[in-house]
Every structure is written in C-alpha cells, then in structure tokens.
A and B are shown apart, each in its own frame.
Chain A
Amino acid sequence: MLKINNLHASVEDKSILKGINLEVKAGEVHAIMGPNGSGKSTLASVIAGKEEYEVTDGNILLNGEDIEDLAAEERAHKGVFLSFQYPVEIPGVSVTNFIKTAINANRKAKGLEDMPAKDMLKMIREKSELLEIDRKFLSRSLNQGFSGGEKKRNEIFQMAMLEPKLAILDETDSGLDIDALRIVANGVNKLKSEDNAVILITHYQRLLDYIKPDFVHVLYNGKIVKSGTAALAHELEEKGYDWIKEEVNA
C-alpha cells in the first residue's frame, strides 16, 4: 500500500528526514516511536502532503504511484488520512458541516453525487455513537475550545466518517484519559480490515496494548534506526532510547 524509499525532506533548508525506508502493506499496523524532535510528525505531514516540507530525495509510493506531485486533498481522495498531533481550531465551522463538506468533496472527486442528507445523518449518528461522542459536541466550532482529549476523539470520529485506506495517527493517545483511550482504540480496531492499514505514532506502550502492531519502528534523527515486532515497544518502555542512541552513534 505504502512504500517509502530513501525519503529526505527539509523545511527552510533544515534537513529533517534523512533517508527513511518503510513499507506498509494492506492489513498491517505499524507503530513508529522515537524521541521528541526525531521527525515523526514531519514524516506524517510529508506523507499527507503538507507543502511547507520539501522532499529533497527519495519518493513515496501509494499503491505503486509516486505521490510527490499530488496535493494534500488528492492524497486524501486516494485514502490517506492524518490524525493530527495538534488538530487546528477553526472557529465558525461546525464539526458536522465540516465533515459533510469533507465527505462530499471526497465523493465528488470520485465522481459521485453528494451523500443524501438522510444517509449522512445516519452515518454521523452511528460513528458518533461508536466513539461515544455527545451530539451537542458536533454542532460546536471545529476544535475550538475542545479539550486535548476531545480534539483527539474528534480526529478519530473524522477518520471513522471518511473510512481511509491508510490512517496515520500522530500521538492520538496523548491527552486521552484511560476510558477515552479504550474507546478510541476500540473505534480504530473496528475500522481495521484486511484492506486498510494504520500507522500509529506514539510514545507509549499502553496504546499498543489495545491496538496490536505488526511492526514497531524507531525513528531517530530523521532515520528509522531499528525495526522489530511488538516486543520492541516493550523493550523501549523498559529501557528508554539511550541504548538505541548509543548503537546508532557507535
């Protein structure tokens, strides 16, 4: 589904990603961990098509197609979804109208008519129930004044509505209380299938207790320096990153 080859990216001439290689197949869950500032969110943004970042070398293939020249919305139309580490507040646009607009924009890109209002309402009801989101919440301005946990839950609500092929969840677990974490993880698991894939960016093992990764990667200083199975996450939880940094710098 996703194949990243020797990806280098920089912002304002500052090099951040320094040769990333990663392959994610349909049906897989990958976890990316790594110290603060190592480039995890940058990688997520580059995959989603944030123009601020310049790809200086390497490429990203989505189902075999190089997506370098695709705008963020075109990548979304191909099924890429990013749950933001810091969701943006947009005053004046309600959650409901935002998600309606997004769904119909995606349908339009596929040559489909707008979703009938009745179906839309039904879907909104189902997905908000799945994530235990209060209906009142949906008429509020997007992310404005939402608590940290509410923002994250709202990201997963959008994911549930848009049903992406490749979901990248950037620290969706941070800010969630124990119950919310369970609800959100449960939501992600329900959406998981053999046809889609998930990349989880996280600092904590606890999310991985709920959503079992097939692979765990450590991103350090713009490179994936170690990959392994779920066991690697446990090892990191126990030992921290020092031993990895030492290995890299040795």
Chain B
Amino acid sequence: MDLKEKLVSSFLAFENHADLDSPIHDIRTEAIKTFETEGFPSKKEEAWKYTSLNSILKHDYSVFPKQENAIEYSDVKKYFIHDIDTYNIVFIDGKFASHLSQTTHDGLDVCLMSAALSKPKYRLIIENYFNKVATKDSLTSLNTAFAQEGAYIHIPKNTLVNKPIQIIHFSTGSEVALMQQPRNLIVVDENSHVQIIERHQSLTDNPVLTNSVTEIFGNKRAIVDYYKIQNDNVNASLIDSTFVNQKRESHISVHTFSFGGKLTRNNLNFYQNGEHMDSTLNGITIIGDKQHVDHNTLVHHIEPNCESHQDYKGIFNDSATGVFNGKVVVNKEAQKTNAFQSNNNILLSDKATINSKPQLEIFADDVKCSHGCTIGQLDDSAMFYLRSRGIPEKEAKALLMYAFANNVLETVKIPELKKRINKLIATKLGVNIGFDL
C-alpha cells in the first residue's frame, strides 16, 4: 500500500475515533476528499518543478505512533533557547509532552490545538479562524484532514507577551519511520505583540516526514515575529506551509533558518487585508551534502499603502540544491505598494545548484516593486585580502559567508536566539570563532 492509500484508509478510523460533533468535522471530511483526488504533488506541477517528493514518500511511515517515548529535559535541553524564560509547547512523536512544556491560560492562551478543538470556550475562535487562511492544496488538505494536535496560541487585545513562545517537535525514532502533521493556530488580537520560535528535531536517523501547517492571524496593529529553526537530522524531511492573514497597521515577520534536514519545503504565504502594514520574509539557508531546501513564498498585496520585504540568502555546498520561488501579487486597488524581494546565493561547489525565480504579478500602476537575484562564488580577491592579514582560509571563508548573511541575522530581535543562530552557522561552516559582526 502506498502512502496515499494508507493515509486515506486511516482517515476513516481516525475520524470515527475523533469527536464527530467537532466544529471541524465537515472541514476534515472535505479535506480528505481533496487529498484523495489530488494526491501528493509531482514535478509536473509548476510549483513543484524543482522539488521531488518521491524519495521521501517511499518509506512505510507510521501515521499514528503507538509507542509513547519519554525523553528527559537534560537530553534535549540544547534544542531549547534555555538561557531566557519562555513559554514552551513541546511534542514528542506528535504527542504533547507536559513535562517539557510551559503553557498558560493566564491572560492569554498558549496551549494545545487538541484542547482548542474539543473545549466549548474555544469554539468561537475555531469557527472564526480555523482553516480560514490555509489554502486548499493537496498537502495542506492532508494536514487539515488529520488536524488534531499542535500549538494553539491566542493573544487577546492590548497584550504584550513578555517572553517568547517556543514550539518544539521532537521525534524519538521509536517508530521505524514516522509521519507527523502538526497544526498550529495563532491569533493575535489588536495591539498585541508576540514572538514565536518553532523547531522540529529528530533525535535519531530514522526517517521522519513532517507535514506542518500554521495559520497566523494578525489583527489591527498586531506585531508578530515568527522564527523557524530548521536544522534537523539527515533523514528528516519537512513540508512547512504557513499562512499569514494580516489586518491594517500590523507588522508581521517570518524568519526561516534552514541549516539541516534531508528535504525542506517552505510554503510561506502572506495575505495583506488592510492598509499601512508590512510583511517581512527573511531567510538564511546553509546546506551541503545532498540536502534540498525549497522556499516558495507568496505576498499578496490586496489594499493600498503597504510594504513587503523579502530577503533570502543561500549558501550551498557539495551537491546541495536550493530553490527560491518568490511570488508577489499586487492587486489593482493596491496603489502605493512597496514590495522588495532579493535572493542572493553563493555556490561553494560545482555540483551545488540553485533555481531562483521571481514572479511578479502587478496590476496597480503606482507601485514600487524591486527584485534581484544573484548567484555567485566567494570573491577571490576578498579571500586574498583576508588571508593576507593572517586569517586562515577556512575562517576567511566563514567570515565572508557571515558577512553575506549578516543583514538577515541583524533583523533577529531576540538576542539569545541570534546568538544561537550564530553558533549554528559557525558549526555549519566548521569554524569556531565568535564573530560578532
């Protein structure tokens, strides 16, 4: 039985087991039909031209892990940003791990999707927001069909959340191969501010496939900073679909740091429903071996006087492959839009490749849109300059790569996170000098 059949047939069991009165019962049923009709995307589809899922779909994934596997905080502490106080929502093999978590209902809700889906007091939010901005493509539909667990975050009006929220998914390898489908809903009301860090971490080399969907709603004047750390093991693959719905005067940023994993596909979609807002999509990708990272972004400017900024940097070594597909749509009504997009890449090896494709669809006439894409090698004369000052080759390379990625790193607003990412980059580049650029 292939994975698609397996998923479709396990749906019935899953849904019968679930609460049939659930507000999302109909949504799930609809979604599995969509997935059943469309199946997994193939390279024939334009949006998947450079990313093939074949090699990761061939495993016999467990869809509902049977075993519960305990892990100790001390074993996984290093995957947390632990030097500051944070809220934590932690999952082990898809199941909530209360002993590693710190949730709250005190003035804000930082808790579980399963709770939000089953308790009456969340019903209104679920009805108003769940699956409202997520698209109906096949992979998102697949996630919707099995939507059950994940992070549920609701920040009410005028709330400045005083510490970041970490969402961490561990997989323990207790299954030979594991498929997970976390579903996150984040609703930030008027005038509120929250910072969120998300990470997926496999603790063994057993294959893991994560098909994650996150919906983020930023209401009037909301500020949301979302950071994704993708530094997973060699056999872990991630399809991350994130949908952001913004209201007027909100500021929402998503940073994606892709340093690991076998195959990573990021579908990041912003919809601007209102005026005077900005959206920031930043990314640093540093990969090698045969790793593959695909960034598929969309910013949809629907109303006038808004901005969007996209800055993606990629460094590719060995036989690594990268894709950047950045789409910007400016509606006819969206006059005075400022949309910037840049994608810069360094190829460190002859075998590494990057496919970079901007797609601009602009229907308004009074707009400023710019896009730029560069693909290059490290500059020889810069290397000689650094080395002539006594900086060894490896460090000189690292310094130039740091400098290359630096303007994205600069925009990380949590200092401890910035430090951590700095360290990850240093490890990734095989150097041990604490550049603080």
A-B contact count (CB 8 A): 87
Residue A16 at the chain B interface, CB threshold 8 Å: no
Interchain CB contact under 8 A, B390 and A105: yes
Tell me the bound Cα distance from A215 to B241 in angstroms. 70
Smallest CB separation, A6 vs chain B (Å) = 24
Docked-complex contact A109 and B390, CB < 8 angstroms? yes
Q: How far apart sit A48 and B388, CA to CA, in the bound complex (Å)?
A: 7
- Asked whether any CB of chain B lies closer than 8 Å to the CB of A106, the reply is yes
Cα(A102)–Cα(B391), bound, Å: 6
Q: Which of chain B's residues have a CB closer than 8 A to the CB of A76?
A: 387-390
Chain B contacts for A81, CB-based, 8 A: 388-389
Q: How far is the CA of A71 from the CA of B407 in the complex (A)?
A: 31
A contact residues around B392 at 8 Å (CB): 71, 73, 105, 109
A91 at the interface (CB under 8 A from B): yes
Asked if B437 contacts A93 (CB within 8 A), the reply is yes
Chain A residues near B437: list those with CB within 8 A: 92-94, 97
B106 interfacial contact with A, CB 8 Å: no
The dominant DSSP class at the B interface is: helix
Interface status of A87 (Cβ within 8 A of chain B): yes
Asked if A101 meets B399 with Cβ closer than 8 Å, knowing A88-B382, A92-B407, A92-B437, the reply is yes
Provide the bound-state CA to CA distance between A82 and B386, in Å: 11
**How many A residues, CB 8 Å from partner?**
33
- A72 touching B384 by the CB < 8 A rule? yes
Contact (Cβ within 8 A) A97 B385: no
Q: How far is the CB of A199 from chain B (nearest CB, A)?
A: 14
Name B's A-contacting residues (CB within 8 A): 379-382, 384-393, 395-396, 399-400, 402-404, 406-407, 433, 435-437
Contact for A49 among B380, B388, B399, CB less than 8 A? B388
Known: A92-B406, A101-B433. A72 touches B387 (CB 8 A): yes
- Report the minimum CB–CB distance from A4 to chain B (whole Å): 18
User: Bound complex: CA of A76 vs CA of B393, how far in Å?
Assistant: 12
Can you identify 20 A-B contacts, CB atoms within 8 angstroms? A45-B384, A48-B388, A49-B387, A50-B384, A72-B388, A73-B392, A81-B389, A82-B388, A87-B385, A88-B379, A90-B400, A92-B437, A93-B406, A94-B437, A98-B386, A101-B395, A104-B433, A105-B389, A162-B389, A162-B390
Give the contacts of A1-60 with B (CB-CB under 8 A). 45, 48-52
Chain B nearest CB, measured from A152 CB (Å): 14
| Pairwise interchain contact B403-A92, C-beta atoms closer than 8 A | yes
